[in-house]
Structure 1
Amino acid sequence: MASPAPAGDAVYAANGGLTDPLLVSANGHGAAARKAGHGARGRYWVASDKAERRAAKESGGEDGRALLFRKYKVKGALLHPYRLLIIIRLVAVLAFFAWRIRHNKSDIMWFWTMSIVGDVWFGFSWLLNQLPKFNPVKTIPDLAALQRHFGYPDGGASRLPGIDVFVTTADPIDEPILYTMNCVLSILSVDYPVDRLACYLSDDSGALVLYEALAEVGKFAPLWVPFCRKYSIEPRAPESYFEHVAPPQAGRVTQEFLNDYRRVQMEYDEFKARLDNLPDAIRKRSDVYNSVRDAGGAQKATWMANGTQWPGTWIDPAENHRKGHHAPIAKVVLNHPSRGQHPITESNPSIATTDERLPMLVYVSREKNPGYDHNKKAGALNAQLRASALLSNAQLIINFDCDHYINNSQALSSAVCFMLDQRDGDNTAFVQFPQRFDNVDPTDRYGNHNRVFFDGTMLALNGLQGPSYLDIVTGFRIHGQGWRSMYCTMEHDAFCGVAPINLTERLHQIVRWSGGSLEMFFSHNNPFIGGRRIQPLQRVSYLNMTVYPVTSVFILIYALSPVMWLIPDEVYIQRPFTRYVVYLLVIIVMIHMIGWLEIKWAGVTWLDYWRNEQFFMIGSTSAYPMAVLHMAVNLLTKKGIHFRVTSKQTAADDNDKFADLYDFRWVPMLIPTMAVLICNVGAIGVALGKTVVYIGTWTAAKKMHAALGLLFNIWIMFLLYPFALAIMGRWAKRPIILVVLLPVVFALVALLYVGIHILLAGLIPF
């Protein structure tokens, strides 16, 4: 699907798509050009709003507003087989359940009963996940229409609504300052009317280093922002721009741009050096002030550059000046442009030819007291909301994580398209974008991109009341009042950020998310009873989002079942076993056929799909069971899940940007995953050993049953392959080691089994 072009450059193709490349300046200094047309992602989509647009054109718009986004649906040639296959699989699953209940024969009836419960739950959870996907819808903003109707008429002021951007950070250590400041710089330089934009940084740590870093942003921004505006720079976070965009070459760009580029790059390097030196500078400054004012054991305060004590947390914690206990702080770093200009330095006259004004920038740190529940991130947003109400009071708010930056300078305008559209604008409460990351390893070992969810499931929910994934409870309560949300897709990603590529940090993140989902289910926001104005299929999607961690309990039990290979006699969970396995294979193949059709219309790759399957298995044997355990403890003891900020710090290695990927950090939640891995490795080895011992006595049926069991073990091994690489640490840089090591382990286990059999022959029947 083609993306919207900058205002005035959009061209509508015959099929209704926008065909110009997005945000590519004529001088070539911006993002790389993209092909026109729909491309591979758009082959399976067709415009679904032609009648609406025709009616709006004929009537001129009922309320004078235009249609500001395009709607697309999946072509019938793909959608109808997709829906039909879902129905066929549903019938097959029901037939499978009926067959199992009629043939309630097993060597271990208690395990058969448990497997029936597990299979019913698998079928139920699959249905919850699949039903909301019957009508995927893609919505793309029309920036040209927005500019025509809400731009600058006759040189006057823009009629676009004001936007307050809320950036939240909790810790300058786990969330590196450089990431946060790049986030702020990208916001200040976004393509949106400067007098309609304000940025508020919430610092939950109350650390002086973050405030002074923001002050450094105020000094560098008057150079960076005009540079971005003049040359249409993309992306507008300097760290990402200088790292990922090829440096300009003399002769291929103007000398003016080359001079400005070198100047800005040099200033940015100095800016980073100042950020790195801030902790030491603050410490030395505070030591000097404290040595002068020391009065016999007085508390060692942290001092600001203007010679006053910092009201937030101190380097040496003290009463009312420690993390979790400090006074409120609100400081305006950059005033609103109407209250004064932010002049550019005289050493950069060429950049000064463009608009020098900057949006308002404010530092906020809410009061903290250990005697109160501060409601984590929600409380920080409330504090920002109160501060912004007094300073800018914009009509719209965007919530921003400090480890993300604006990757597409038209991102905010794109969101506004949905809020001002004449069809759904009055009913749209919020707009969401897919999460994208630029620090993930090329193979995406731990499924950080999660494109199956962001490019598949979210488009499906877009056909209902809209998606809700950043905060499920808030989305549920808003949808419950009858509002809808929109999902904005852009070929040139709107936002980009940093993901935890370390397995342990990634799993801690999953525990927090899935734990929050379970807490919602066991609250008054339960999808069964809450949200009286939520549509039925939207309610189904919320139910799925709140109970999915429970599935991991049954997956973990099944994944450990190969331990039965150690039992000398054959044990069958279901008889007749062959037909049981055939049923399972048919059902499993069908779910992957449905997945194949999904990745077609979602535009994701098989690697994305496979990584999603692998990480779900890893999470189902570690993070999800841990979340279920936490929830059980919470219900019994009323102690909630501890909020842990996901660390974005990476392992120190200047020669390897993915060094954190190979840093294995052992935590208790990984014990079940390790047990599953050992169990299946051992099962394969024992199976090989049994083959040697009993090859002459096994019937053809037993051989087939053994082969089917081995197929299950091998499938589990493939799913746990990323985990096996993780425990190898830096040896995982050579995956061939694992490929060689596993057969050796299988052979050793087989030899051990044969040896034990020989030693115990005649004593214990094998």
Structure 2
Amino acid sequence: MFVFDSELHHLKESFGPSNELIISLQRSNQHKTIDNGILSSTLQQEAEFLASYNYEKSTLWRKQIGYLYKSLIEDYFAGFILHCKEWKSIFCNPSRSAFLGSATSSLNDTLVQGTRWNCGLLEPFYSLPSWCLATVPQLCLINGISLYPKVSSPWFMNFSCIFLCSLLKHLLEVLNTGGSVLTWCSKQRIWMIKSITCYTYATIDAILKCFGMKQPCFSPTNKVSDDEQAKLHQLGKFNFHTSTKFLAPLVTLVMLNMIAFTGGIARMVISGGANELLGQVILSFYILLESYPIIEVMAWRKDKGQVPASVALLSFVLSIILLLLGSVVLRLI
């Protein structure tokens, strides 16, 4: 009896005072907890007790049990610690959803959340390749500098195959998990948007945090959608009603690629440099194709998600500055 009481006391110190939870941990719960899909009143009360804010106080929750706090990415951190303790994880994707939760409902909240996550993951240079891919080939194209192999070179096919295979691999993953081609396109666009925006700001935050110049903070996000937002989602449209710090880099790079694509086509027609510059022209075209939702809100959409005139003007100025700086640097090189 003393051993049982001691064990029970230890379990309650670790997992809290919920008797139902302790019983379930001991795998001796023989009660019928669900009747025709409806929880019993006792279990309902117990669930509310477990979900209360004060339940985890003076227990090992948050420290050794459940999600580990003191991190901007508590779920990732907890999973990492479990793997360090030799736990094994599997991909669980049942036909009936096992868990349902609320997600961010606007682009602004998604990018704020992404900034927090990537800062917590300490991936300070994840955005650098994306910025290089969106600017360096374009600036070289405008100045008539070839970066990729000539079309007549066998290496051009190698580059093309690697690029296409990476896209097809992602498409296959989306289709295998029940998605569609439209879902794949949206995921590609979201990845590009995040790479330029929240990954960049996460890089800055992570560097400042490493030097002790900024403390990590948890930025709350809204997960309530209004009627207009829901309507845009149903139509498959992006809502770019977001802060300038997120929107300006996107519009700036779209303008830069529009200038590069137009200038590259003109250069190939006038100077006949298709053999050297076709790869960079295709890259700019691909970026513009993926950026179609941004071009749409810049050009003709007049709803809540359109790009404000002030942001468009700021982005135009930034793209011109980027062009001038790029031209100066390339000439010096």
Q: TM-score range by the shorter chain?
A: 0.5 to 0.7
Give the counterpart letter for 2:262 in structure 1.
G
Instruction: Give the alignment of 1:284-363 within 5 angstroms.
Output: 360-361=48-49
Match for residue 88 of structure 2 among 484, 487, 501? 484
Q: Which residue of 1 aligns with 2:146?
A: 572
For the 8 Å contact 2:139–2:260, the answer to whether it is kept is yes
User: Does residue 1:498 correspond to 2:102, yes or no?
Assistant: yes
Equivalence for 2:253: 676
| Displacement of 1:384 | 3.2
Deviations 1:24-79 (A, max 9, x none): xxxxxxxxxxxxxxxxxxxxxxxxxxxxxxxxxxxxxxxxxxxxxxxxxxxxxxxx
Q: Are 1:513 and 2:117 an aligned pair?
A: yes
1:584 and 2:159 correspond? yes
- Per the TM alignment, residue 559 of structure 1 is displaced from its structure 2 partner at its CA by 0.7
Residues 487 and 385 of structure 1, relative CA distance in 2, 3 Å threshold: farther
Tell me the alpha carbon deviations over residues 239-270 of structure 1, each in whole angstroms, 9 at most, x when there is no partner: xxxxxxxxxxxxxxxxxxxxxxxxxxxxxxxx
Alignment partners' CA distance in 2, 1:655 and 1:626: 28
| Alignment partner of 1:625 out of 187, 197, 200 | 200
Q: Which residue of 2 aligns with 1:550?
A: 125
- 1:195 corresponds in structure 2 to 42
Paired residue for 2:302?
A: 731
Structure 1 or 2: larger helix share? 2
SS of match in other structure, 2:96: coil
1:385 corresponds in structure 2 to: 56
Cα-to-partner distance string for 1:81-124 (whole Å, 9 max, x where unaligned):
xxxxxxxxxxxxxxxxxxxxxxxxxxxxxxxxxxxxxxxxxxxx
Question: Do the aligned residues in 2 keep the contact of 1:197 with 1:360 (CA within 8 Å)?
Answer: yes
Superposed CA RMSD in Å reads 4.0
Other-structure match for 1:687: 264
Structure-1 residue corresponding to 2:77: 473
Pick closer, same or farther for the CA change 1:478–1:579 going to 2, 3 Å. Answer: same
* Structure 1 residue matching 2:211: 3-state secondary structure: helix
Cα offset, 1:589, TM superposition: 1.9
Give 1:719's match in structure 2, choosing from 290, 310, 315. Answer: 290
After superposition, give the CA deviation of every residue in 1:634-665 in whole Å (9 maximum; x if it has no partner).
11235233321012244575995759954612
Cα separation, 1, equivalents of 2:130 and 2:157: 19
665 and 728 in structure 1: CA distance in 2 versus 1, 3 angstrom threshold: farther
Cα distance change of structure 1 residues 621 and 663 upon mapping to structure 2, 3 Å threshold: closer
Partner letter of residue 147 of structure 2? I
Give the counterpart letter for 1:721 in structure 2.
Y
**Which structure has the greater CA radius of gyration?**
1
Distance 1:471 1:654 in 2: 28
In the alignment, structure 1 residue 640 sits paired with structure 2 residue 311: no
Aligned partner of residue 219 in structure 2, secondary structure: coil
Structure with the larger RCO, 1 or 2 (CA within 8 Å, 6+ apart)? 2
What amino acid does structure 2 have at the position aligned with 1:499? A
Report if aligned partners of 1:626, 1:669 keep a CA contact under 8 Å in 2. Answer: no
Normalising by structure 1, we get a TM-score of: 0.31
Q: Distance in 2 between matches of 1:675 and 1:654?
A: 25
Task: Summarize the Cα distance change of 1:604–1:662 in structure 2 as closer, same or farther, 3 Å threshold.
Answer: closer
Shift of 1:150: 8.0
Q: Residue 691 and residue 639 in structure 1: after superposition, are their counterparts in 2 closer, same or farther (change >3 A)? A: same
Residues 499, 648 of structure 1: 8 Å contact kept: yes
**How many angstroms apart in 2 are the aligned matches of 1:619 and 1:632?**
18
The residue type paired with residue 244 of structure 2 is V
Distance 2:295 2:76 in 1: 32
**Which residue of the other structure, out of 260, 281, 296, is the alignment partner of 1:710?**
281
- Is the 2:105–2:222 contact (alpha carbons within 8 Å) kept by the matching residues of 1? no
Contact 2:108-2:242 within 8 A present in 1 as well: yes
Which 5+ residue runs of structure 2 have no aligned equivalent? 1-26, 68-72, 307-333
CA contact (8 A) 2:141 2:264 kept: yes
Q: 1:648 to 1:560 in 2, by over 3 A?
A: same
**How has the CA–CA distance of structure 1 residues 553 and 485 changed in structure 2, closer, same or farther, with 3 Å as cutoff?**
same
Q: Is the 8 A contact 1:663 1:729 kept in 2?
A: no
| Structure 1: runs of 5+ lacking an equivalent | 1-148, 161-188, 199-335, 337-358, 366-382, 400-468, 519-546, 736-766
2:9 paired residue number: none
Q: Give the distance between the partners of 2:300 and 2:41, measured in 1 at CA.
A: 48
How many residues get paired? Answer: 266
Instruction: Tell me the distance in 2 between the aligned counterparts of 1:652 and 1:604.
Output: 25
- Alpha-carbon contact 1:504-1:667 (below 8 Å) kept: no
TM-superposition CA deviations, 1:296-350 (whole Å, max 9, x none): xxxxxxxxxxxxxxxxxxxxxxxxxxxxxxxxxxxxxxxx6xxxxxxxxxxxxxx
8 A Cα contact 1:613 1:719, kept in partner: yes
1:552–1:625 CA contact under 8 A, matched in 2? yes
Match of 1:563 in 2: 139
d(CA) in 1 for partners of 2:171, 2:228: 39
CA shift for structure 1 position 623: 1.0
Query: Aligned partners of 1:657 and 1:713: how far apart in 2?
Result: 27
Write the letter of the residue equivalent to 2:178: G
Mapped to 2, the partners of 1:625 and 1:725 lie a distance apart of: 24
1:755-766 matches, cutoff 5 A: none
**Distance in 1 separating the partners of 2:103 and 2:157:** 40
**Structure-2 separation of matches of 1:606 and 1:654:** 23
CA contact (8 A) 1:503 1:664 kept: yes
Shift of 1:362: 7.5
Change (3 A) 1:583 1:485: closer
**CA positional deviation for 1:499:** 2.7
Counterpart position of 1:29? none
Instruction: State how 1:371-520 maps to structure 2 within 5 Å.
Output: 383-386=54-57, 471-518=75-122
Contact 2:119/2:203 (8 A) holds in 1: yes
CA–CA distance in structure 2, aligned partners of residues 618 and 705 of structure 1: 29
Sequence identity percentage: 17
CA gap 1:574/1:728 in 2 versus in 1, 3 angstroms: closer
Tell me the amino acid that sits aligned with residue 192 of structure 2. M
8 Å CA contact 2:229–2:239 kept in 1: the answer is: no
Q: Contact conserved, 1:515 with 1:627, CA < 8 A, in 2?
A: yes
The equivalent position to 1:665 in structure 2, one of 221, 242, 258, is 242
Secondary structure (helix, strand or coil) at the match of 1:673 reads helix
Compare the two structures and name the one with the higher strand fraction: 1
Q: Which amino acid aligns with 2:284?
A: N
Q: Return the letter of the residue paired with 2:78.
A: T
Report how far residue 554 of structure 1 moved: 1.1
